[in-house]
Amino acid sequence: MDLGPLLGSTLLPFILTTLLTELLIRFLRSKGFVVRDYHKQGMKMVPRPGGPSIFAGSMASMAVLYYFMPSEGLLAMALSVAIAFAVGMLDDFFTLGGIEKPLLLTLSAVPILALGAYDYHLRFPLFGAARLSIVYPILVVLSMPVVSNTVNMIDVMNGVMSSFMIIATIPLAFFFLLQGNEEMLLASLSLISVCLAFYLYHRYPSKIFPGDSGTLALGAMYGALAIVGRAEFVGMVALFPAIINSFSYLASVKGFIEHRKVKERPIEVEGGMLKASRSMKAPITLVRMLLLDGPLSERDVAKNIAILASFSSALAILTGVMI
């Protein structure tokens, strides 16, 4: 493996994301772009969104990789991330509706389809590949907003989303390593590097929140990685806790409703501890389910989610081996 692409996919995005996040924290505070951290007692205000630094780090690494190994797959991934980031920025500053956001996110599938950066032979564990020449493009259009929103909805508290993405991307990297797919391996390392750099500021207690621009961009990159790299089932298994969280939420609120418009919060803060809401109208979420046995600290909840993510990622690695 050449040194240039390796450094471009690991060191460059880490350094750039770190530096830009530092600058972004100061800029957002100076302009008053802060939101309340609802899981802390008092009125702690945190800068948001951190999406621009995440996007810049991702694009820089994609540009370097494309320079050394130009391909339709890398170009499609970069364009998909750019579209999802733009939708996220709109949502951060203008608050899109529960239907508008997923509809706009379907546009992130267009580069993948337009550039033909996919293979409609879907590979199943143990059973081999199945030809889905008509159905597969439809699945791509549906899966990109689903994955992006799934990552967006796992951003439940300090450090959870960024740490979850690091853990969930490891099986993809391992799968590409097994296949000898250097291009997608380096792209997955880039995603891990960006998430790791942002995690240093997003971890408890958060100095910055990613906002929808950050979570949707990372979700689009993850989804594009799985599709372009033909690792759909590996990615699906690795994301399982986040999938459970998003579908539980959607089922309990009965539709696509922007979380900022939900009146009943699923968890409450009491004496510095988090506890599940007793309201029948409160949404069902992964965190609320974890708190059913009793109150936990924010750090303990984040730790439990990381354990679930690690278990799913281990199963995802096994899935990759079977494929």
User: Is the model's pLDDT at 132 over the cut of 70?
Assistant: yes
Backbone angles phi, psi at 128, to 5 degrees: 85, -160
User: Is the model's pLDDT at 48 over the cut of 90?
Assistant: yes
What is residue 208's predicted lDDT score, i.e. its pLDDT?
98
What is residue 259's predicted lDDT score, i.e. its pLDDT?
60
How would residue 260 be classed by pLDDT, with cut points 50, 70 and 90? low
Q: Can you tell me whether residue 89 is helix, strand or coil?
A: helix
Residue found under tokens 């259009």 = 141
Please provide the size of the chain in residues: 323
- Name the nearest CA neighbour of 56 among 223, 190, 202, 227: 190
61-118: pLDDT as tens digits: 999 999 999 999 999 999 999 999 999 999 999 988 878 999 999 999 999 999 999 9
- Name the nearest CA neighbour of 169 among 146, 193, 150, 148: 193
User: Is the model's pLDDT at 264 over the cut of 90?
Assistant: no
User: Is the model's pLDDT at 34 over the cut of 70?
Assistant: yes
Q: Tokens at residue 310, please? A: 């690690």
| Residue 266 to residue 158: CA distance in whole angstroms | 16
| Residue 130 to residue 31: CA distance in whole angstroms | 53
Cis peptide before 205 (omega within 30 of 0): yes
Average predicted confidence (pLDDT) for the chain: 93
What is residue 73's predicted lDDT score, i.e. its pLDDT?
96
Biggest CA pair distance of the chain: 57
